[in-house]
Chain A
């Protein structure tokens, strides 16, 4: 079988550098820094240990990357691992078959439960629901008033009554049912994970309201304590997910990783400010970069990978000018085109190509049709298009769902283009010819 350009180039480059697979020394050198970075980001020591061990075994013996040096490659493996750890299963919100759908909010003091309750209510409203808020924090001064003000600002009614929080929560759900409200969000008082009495109380609230979702609200500035908190709340309440707050600050937010690692529950939402609209879906990739902190290195890695892709394109351009360009290369470039935008791959690299060519807009449909035609060819046909006779043409057209004329046009123009390129590569002026050759190289243009 034929190899893709990237495959060929990859092995070549690796051989050039004379490097084998990532060695233990390569990996350990970088993992020391990674460990420090994670600890400085407040990832808990036990989670750091587990994650670093996992990354180590994955990284040692990994095939060398053609684009990155070993250090960069390990960092990239770490980043990818963190993205996977933080992401994974997402929380798809479903609704109770017998309304209302109850959502319980729990967490430490001051983590952001009340604010997030109002934000969540606004979110449910945006989903076309009719939420209601229940203030079951009867403990902190003015907690109910706070919820009332916030509820008003998002246009969601708030229920509360003095007395016992468990009773208040139960009555709130009842009230929602009688009013035909289909979602109830129950805000509870802040509590410490080690406060047995208050943990029992929130369990009672949960039992009295049968929540479909229980969110643990976690402050992104939390340090090592995050694991204890997550474990205790998850054991008591079987949380469904986490809301990570105060992400508008500059905390690295390693608590996200700790909480996800010990509970396995998804981080559902990110709160990014005090205002009620500062609430969004959680992005594992952004969070991974933030926790790792190595902004410079991560940028460098991206650049290196981009440069590598550009290197591939240059190589293809050279082959093109030497007339060694095949339809496989052409297909590869089409795929790059889709990633990079209009003709920025091989054509953009050509020294004398006129601006119109470099900027020529290529529609998705044209690319798709050309791709289909080439994919319907055998490797031999791709390498030497002159063997494509009438019966092959018909087969290719059928296989690609195009017309025989389309196949003809592509092959003809590809062949002309290759000729023209070769001439140009040989030092002759070929800009005009190139322009003509490319003028109609796409079927259906």
Chain B
């Protein structure tokens, strides 16, 4: 289902799920319904508490107009947390720009790279994909298929080889060819694995050696992820200097509220959203749309 369709349903559902309980005015049940909705969207206990705290202060200051006003105030409060962030995928000052894509296993890194490559090729840029996942079975073949689909170039290394060498190689070749953009895939890794995080540090270091400029380090977060997502964001940011989040699989029944927690707690902006497995299923992040969809039932 397209995000837009879901949005239509979402608007209707807000008055159902949340406002329904609010009909009697802002009593305990109403607050509980709001809390429940936020928790079910995977915002987490702490972030939910913060949002509700701010909302309560508004209610106490009589800035909220009855129960119907509470829903609007909630949306406004949440949108406020997401206001003002720079969400465009950045190009560097010197070519080639390098986008490094990182995240835990199976989050959607390789697929997101395919979609990003398609968009950039369509925008007239020459794109090189770096097959920095030399570990997972057939990860190189998977990226090769995306290169074929999108018309991007591909640089691969030996299976089991050093990922930073592949990325280095890709950057060199992109520079030699005068390419605009290198998008580097990396193997999925759990942030608790110290060796793999060290490997990622090295990839980031080598990618930044020049020529070119690392313009984005994109952390891919699966919308079904629960509270571990915050830990992921913290650890990947520490190891690789994450500049933005790609929130994938938002076409499912999961709300992706953990991305709200990541942006509002850690200040890492959500940049793009994955809405399917096909090449066109990637859109720019729209805070208002996202907040409304959080309450979709």
Contact = CB atoms under 8 A, between A and B. Distances in A.
Interface of A: 36, 39-42, 44-45, 108-112, 139-142, 145-150, 153, 192-194, 219, 221-226, 228-229, 246, 248-252, 254-255, 274
B269 interface: no
Given A223-B42, A229-B253, A248-B193, 17 more contacts: A39-B44, A45-B36, A109-B108, A141-B141, A141-B145, A142-B142, A150-B137, A192-B252, A221-B104, A222-B224, A223-B227, A225-B42, A246-B104, A248-B190, A249-B192, A250-B190, A274-B135
Interface residues of B, number: 48
B45 interface: yes
A248 B105 CA distance: 11
B231 interface: yes
Contacts of B231: 250-251
B106 to A, nearest CB: 3
B40 A110 contact: no
A223 B256 CA distance: 9
A251 B1 CA distance: 29
B141 A145 contact: yes
Contacts of B258: 223
A251 B146 CA distance: 31
B78 to A, nearest CB: 17
Given A45-B36, A139-B277, A246-B105, A108 B226 contact: no
Nearest to A249: B190
B106 A192 contact: no
Interface string B189-209: 011110000000000000000
A167 to B, nearest CB: 21
A109 B223 CA distance: 11
A252 B142 contact: no
Interface string B243-258: 0000001011111011
Nearest to A222: B224
Nearest to A258: B226
B254 A223 contact: yes
Nearest to B235: A250
B66 to A, nearest CB: 26
A215 to B, nearest CB: 16
A45 B138 contact: no
Top 7 closest pairs, chain A to chain B, by CB: A223-B226, A110-B106, A42-B226, A141-B145, A149-B137, A225-B254, A142-B141
Interface string B173-194: 0000000000000001011110
Interface string B143-180: 01110010000000000000000000000000000000
